[in-house]
Structure 1
Amino acid sequence: MNICFSRCRTFFLVPLVAFFSLVQAAHSQEPKAIGWSLAEAVETALLSNLGLQLKRHEVQQAEGTAQAAQGSFSPLLSAEVGATGLQRTPASVAEAETEQTTVWQAGISKRFTPGTEIDLSLSNNTFDSDTDLLLFDPVYRSGWTLGITQPLLRGRGEDAQTADLEAARRALEAQTFLVDDEAAALAAQVKNAYWELVFAHRNLEVLQLSLVLAQRLKEETAARIETGSLATIDIFQPESEVAVREQELISGQQLIGSAEDRLKLLTNTSDWQTPLQPTEYPDVRPVRPDLATVMEKALANRPDLKAAALQIQAAAWRLKRAENERLPALDLYGLAGLGGTADSFGRAVDNTWGDTDHQWQIGLRFSHPLDSSLADGNYRQAAAVHARSRTSLEMMKQEVRRLARSTVRDIELALKTIEAAKKTTLARQKSLDAEQAKFEAGRSTTLDVLIAQQHYSQALTAEHRAHVSYAQILADLDRLQGIISLPKR
């Protein structure tokens, strides 16, 4: 019956260790741990993570840039009010000694996408002088002026005029996709951190079990020494092993703390005192994704690839603008105006539409720098940015293909590792039971039992690591495809 008990008791050690942990927690002065599911951790991070908030701020900045580019086509309202006075010594009888002028004018101008600029203005002014040569004094003038300018080379056409706006819009859309990409990356990081915390807790349970096994062997060794079946020096080996495993237990507790800190940092928590207790264990049901399907989904759906494609479009628009800036400026301009002059403001306004006062102007305006280094340099920069953006996208696609192949391969290997680890654990457990039975029959040493215990503990740890690694690879698979998947609560 003793042999049967020694072979079977390892099956009951895990519950005993768990009970021992609960008793310790009940008497601990630390705050009560918060139970956290994987979905809660990911959702909290998506709401609170500071890195994701920075990406959202970049979207707001891009929105401002696009709004500013749109503003170049907004109507511009202008107005002016002023007065001028002059007093001088006349040089002739026809020259006035004093002059006073007042002016107020208002106008509105707008640029349209073909490059056409229209300026409509209303002006009114008065002139008062002590000269006797004026027909009436003061003189009131009022008039309307309409001016039009149309670029014929530089700045001509909708592409040239809207290049900055279209580039800003593409950049804004790209930033929006980059937020989605940051969210997908964050979700994968949180999942990996969560599973690391799960592993740290399971590893601590294994270390506690290892310590219990060593303590039991120490007690059994001490009992055999008392009965005279073992020498006194045989107690030193299990005693030293108990001390070693106590140190390992401390390291296991440190591992939990580090894993908690990582998870709390990703979720931007304000509570750094309360421990976290994961409530889930990895689901190790086999998932065997098809490489071609994974690669196709990743290339089609990853937000960072979509953002890179939009950045190429933005660079292409900037290249168009830089190419247009290399052309000479040749503008067709025209102006037409009506006016009225009278001895009162009211009559001047009335005469605006009936008098013969009018003006017109038409012509061509040309300019081009003798040294085109500035425009040529800007064009070369824009061309380089456009080419670099295209190359960068191709590099990203190649990396996605490599990651897809690597991740699918790692999933298959992880499943094999889980099966191997499970078999190894079972074999190590049976080996430990056998070694324990031999020890009780006097056919094995304490060192042999301790070695068997260590192998069993290592096998348990390796099995937990295999489960966690599999779950982390599945999280990387989601990240590879640019998606966020959450387990059902």
Structure 2
Amino acid sequence: MHSNIFAIGLLCSVCLEAQYATFPQGNYFRETFGNKITRVELRSPVRLTDSVIGDKLELSLRSYLELVMANNTDVQIQRLNVETAANAITRAFAPFDPLATASFTNTRSKTPANGVLDGAATVSTLNQPANFRYQQTLETGTQYNVAFFGQKQTTNSGFQNFNPALNSNLSFGFVQPLLRDRGGLVNRLPITLAKSRLRQSQYQLRDQIMRLLADAENVYWDVVFARENLAVAESSLELASASLKRSQRELELGALSPLDIFQPQQVYASAEIRVSQARFALSQREDALRKQIAADLDPGIRRLPLVLTEAVLPPTDTGAIDAEMKVERALQMRPDLKAAIQELDSDDIGIKVIRNVLKPALNLTGTYTSQGRGGIFNQRGNLANSFGQSTPVISRIPGGFGDALDQVFGFGFPIYQFGITLRLPVRDRAASANLSDAIINKRRDSLAVRNIEQTTRLDVLNAVNNVESSKASVKLAIVARDFAQKRLDAEQKKYELGTSQIFFVLQAQSDLIQAQSELVRESVNYRRNNLNLIRRTGELLDERGVYID
């Protein structure tokens, strides 16, 4: 008996140790039965006031990108995808969650007697069974259960010695897989797959954040370009205004023909149109920038004028870019390539899952049950007299449920059961087809990785060429602007000396404005092409000091 008690105690301690991590915590009932708040409250934009200086919203490129990461709605949406993947890991632990069940029934019946041995003309019976069961699957694949059964049965039959009769038993059972689902490595494959999916989601998040950050920075440079373009248009208006005033003065003095005043007036009107269009374009670009940092959601911030501190300067790096080094860097850093490679890891895990399903299901089962009985014992001399009637009760020995429990935990009436079950599919076409599909998917994903590598190389080479082309274009635009300025100065001196006409002066002014506008455009294009290069190499987040937790 002592050995039985020791064995049962050891089994209980092992069960408790196995389910310690999954047993409900103290807040189980509060989380299960409490009223959870499902209302979604969106937080207001943050840290916008840090960039308010005076009555203006002043933004450097770095502070602007920090506000994008903190407030941009698209960025917050992408972050939620990672949280969903993290929840999938929790879901993958569900097969190892313990389950407790309990039941109680109360049944009263009256049936007519079928014979004298029923003990009464009308047999009245009250049956009250109760069941309690706890079961769990361990990560090793072992399934165990602990069950307790108690029953109280009362009858008016005269032949029942125990009335009421109290029966109880305590049972322990297990199922140990020997082939399919055997071992922690196989049973943890869904968890490993969920973790692999989480890493893939994290790579995809970095890729999406890089795309959103590049788009946001392009919006910043759109505003800078619109601002510089407005400055060029206003400069053009000033030159046109000065030319028009001079021409009007010459007309008043009779030095200019009345027919020649129309060209300066037309040039001035065109310059006014360009300024108006540039102002509207700048306003549109600024509204797009406010949306990127969610400043449009704050009534006090969205009315403030914007001041962008980044200037459009010619490139200072005159050295040639090592294209092959950039390609190698991209192959190491690109998150979309890492996500595709991570998909191959998920394919390997899926193949292992299907190979496990192909194995025969061979299980070792075992059950130990300890029984007990109690109740009031009615002692009779004989079962029945010569007339088939039950004999009177000689004595009543009192008893109760405690007697049944004593016998249960005394382990004097045990039941042992061990067995082996085998489920051997003669031919499993569904699993075989699933395995073939999994191998095909891995081959397809391998080709997808190669395709991304090829696309990465092409993207980086094109980005390098665009940066080098922008460098050359900026240099040529500077030269063209300088020559246009010299030409305008020369035409104005010639006009003052009377050797040139107002038409050539206005033409030179138009060429200078066009050269200045072209220099601004090429300088901003250089910034955009350089941004595109560091995005294609996967270095954008590191270059901009952005950390994704």
* TM-score, L = length of structure 2: 0.77
Structure 1 residue runs of 5 or longer lacking an equivalent are 1-30
* Residues 312 and 520, structure 2, Cα contact 8 Å, conserved in 1: no
* Residues 192 and 472, structure 1, Cα contact 8 Å, conserved in 2: yes
Which residue is equivalent to 2:408? 352
* Residues 75 and 108, structure 1, Cα contact 8 Å, conserved in 2: yes
Q: Please state whether the residue corresponding to 1:106 is helix, strand or coil.
A: strand
* Residues 181 and 482, structure 1, Cα contact 8 Å, conserved in 2: no
Q: Does 1:292 align with 2:349?
A: no
1:286 alignment partner AA: D
Q: Please state whether the residue corresponding to 1:72 is helix, strand or coil.
A: helix
Deviation at 1:104? Answer: 2.5
Which residue is equivalent to 2:393? none
Q: Does 1:105 align with 2:131?
A: yes
Deviation at 1:47? Answer: 0.6
Larger relative contact order (CA 8 Å, sep ≥ 6): 1
Q: Please state whether the residue corresponding to 2:491 is helix, strand or coil.
A: helix
Deviation at 1:475? Answer: 2.0
1:280 alignment partner AA: E
Which residue is equivalent to 2:207? 181
Quote the Cα distance in structure 2 between the aligned partners of 1:34 and 1:85: 82
Deviation at 1:296? Answer: 2.5
Deviation at 1:131? Answer: 2.4
Q: Deviations over 1:217-248 (max 9, x none)?
A: 11222222222222101011111121122111
Deviation at 1:364? Answer: 3.3
Which residue is equivalent to 1:57? 80
2:266 alignment partner AA: S
* Residues 160 and 321, structure 1, Cα contact 8 Å, conserved in 2: yes
Q: Please state whether the residue corresponding to 1:113 is helix, strand or coil.
A: coil
2:306 alignment partner AA: L
Deviates more, 1:438-447 or 1:321-330: 321-330
Which residue is equivalent to 1:477? 533
| Counterpart pick for 2:442 among 356, 373, 386 | 386
Deviation at 1:468? Answer: 1.3
Quote the Cα distance in structure 1 between the aligned partners of 2:539 and 2:437: 32
Structure 2 residue runs of 5 or longer lacking an equivalent are 1-53, 376-399
Quote the Cα distance in structure 1 between the aligned partners of 2:306 and 2:434: 55
Which residue is equivalent to 2:336? 304
Quote the Cα distance in structure 2 between the aligned partners of 1:353 and 1:32: 83
Q: Deviations over 1:47-106 (max 9, x none)?
A: 111111112111111111110111322332332233222222222333472222222232
* Residues 226 and 282, structure 2, Cα contact 8 Å, conserved in 1: yes
Quote the Cα distance in structure 2 between the aligned partners of 1:93 and 1:275: 105
Deviates more, 1:164-173 or 1:182-191: 182-191
Change in Cα spacing, 1:377 to 1:259, as seen in structure 2 (3 Å) is: farther
* Residues 171 and 370, structure 2, Cα contact 8 Å, conserved in 1: yes
Change in Cα spacing, 1:287 to 1:379, as seen in structure 2 (3 Å) is: farther
Which residue is equivalent to 2:22? none
Which residue is equivalent to 1:447? 503
Q: Deviations over 1:239-265 (max 9, x none)?
A: 112112211112211221222132222
Q: Please state whether the residue corresponding to 1:215 is helix, strand or coil.
A: helix
Q: Please state whether the residue corresponding to 1:138 is helix, strand or coil.
A: strand
* TM-score, L = length of structure 1: 0.86
Quote the Cα distance in structure 1 between the aligned partners of 2:261 and 2:164: 123
Q: How does 1:67-466 map to 2 (within 5 A)?
A: 67-95=90-118, 97-269=123-295, 270-271=297-298, 272-283=302-313, 284-286=315-317, 288=319, 289-343=321-375, 344-354=400-410, 356-367=412-423, 372=428, 374-376=430-432, 378-466=434-522
Quote the Cα distance in structure 2 between the aligned partners of 1:455 and 1:277: 29
C-alpha root-mean-square deviation of aligned residues, in Å?
A: 2.5
Deviation at 1:370? Answer: 8.3
Change in Cα spacing, 1:119 to 1:487, as seen in structure 2 (3 Å) is: closer
1:324 alignment partner AA: N
Change in Cα spacing, 1:465 to 1:112, as seen in structure 2 (3 Å) is: same
Q: Please state whether the residue corresponding to 1:243 is helix, strand or coil.
A: helix
Q: Deviations over 1:267-316 (max 9, x none)?
A: 22224443322111145221654323322222222333323322322232
Change in Cα spacing, 1:81 to 1:387, as seen in structure 2 (3 Å) is: farther
* Residues 103 and 125, structure 1, Cα contact 8 Å, conserved in 2: yes
Change in Cα spacing, 1:487 to 1:253, as seen in structure 2 (3 Å) is: farther
* Residues 38 and 487, structure 1, Cα contact 8 Å, conserved in 2: no
Quote the Cα distance in structure 1 between the aligned partners of 2:415 and 2:358: 35
Quote the Cα distance in structure 2 between the aligned partners of 1:369 and 1:215: 93
| Counterpart pick for 2:63 among 25, 37, 40 | 40
1:479 alignment partner AA: R
1:448 alignment partner AA: F
Quote the Cα distance in structure 1 between the aligned partners of 2:66 and 2:160: 83
2:311 alignment partner AA: Y
Equivalenced residues, count: 458
Change in Cα spacing, 1:388 to 1:132, as seen in structure 2 (3 Å) is: farther
* Residues 188 and 478, structure 1, Cα contact 8 Å, conserved in 2: no
Change in Cα spacing, 1:451 to 1:140, as seen in structure 2 (3 Å) is: same
Q: Please state whether the residue corresponding to 1:353 is helix, strand or coil.
A: helix
* Residues 340 and 351, structure 1, Cα contact 8 Å, conserved in 2: yes
Quote the Cα distance in structure 2 between the aligned partners of 1:408 and 1:388: 30
Deviation at 1:137? Answer: 1.3
Change in Cα spacing, 1:437 to 1:287, as seen in structure 2 (3 Å) is: closer
Quote the Cα distance in structure 2 between the aligned partners of 1:135 and 1:444: 137
Q: Please state whether the residue corresponding to 2:363 is helix, strand or coil.
A: strand
Change in Cα spacing, 1:355 to 1:35, as seen in structure 2 (3 Å) is: closer
2:316 alignment partner AA: R
Quote the Cα distance in structure 1 between the aligned partners of 2:539 and 2:436: 34
Deviation at 1:407? Answer: 1.9
